[in-house]
Amino acid sequence: MPDYWKFSPDLFLQDGTYQATGIASSPDSPDKLRLALTRRAPTLGRLRLEGANIHRLVMEAPGKPTVVLDDPPALVQVPIADYSHHRVWLKQGATEATSDCYNPVGVNGESEAVFRSSW
């Protein structure tokens, strides 16, 4: 399973939204770059996940936080957005599969949105 993805500087990681900022370390530090995460509080909406064995779901919407959900429950709260690109990793035992999807999913603060895994 890939453990990397392209992301915006704004991330929604399971339980909250963070702004990621790269910070150069001092010349005498062994670290070349540090990543600082600043917590943010966007408005959230409900998203129902339909399908089995969703191990990781990454959702992107222009100008909105990249959403990363690991082993999510069937009902999650994510920032309100019109998500146009999704990457889903499915896992059952030692078997894994990935897929890129471009089916729009609109999450708003009024009704429950639904993401359907294609497998």
Residue 1 has pLDDT above 60, yes or no: no
Query: What's the CA gap between 71 and 62, in Å, rounded?
Result: 24
More confident residue, 34 or 98: 98
| Residue 93 β-bridge partners | none
**What tokens were used for 84?**
């146009």
Query: What's the CA gap between 67 and 15, in Å, rounded?
Result: 10
Mean of all residue pLDDT scores within the chain: 84
Parallel, antiparallel or unpaired: strands 95-101 and 75-79: unpaired
Residue 6 has pLDDT above 80, yes or no: no
**HSE (side-chain half, CA atoms, 13 Å) at 105:** 27
Residue 119 has pLDDT above 70, yes or no: no
| pLDDT tens by residue, 28-71 | 776 666 777 888 888 899 999 998 899 999 999 988 889 999 99
**Residue 13: pLDDT band with limits 50, 70, 90:** confident
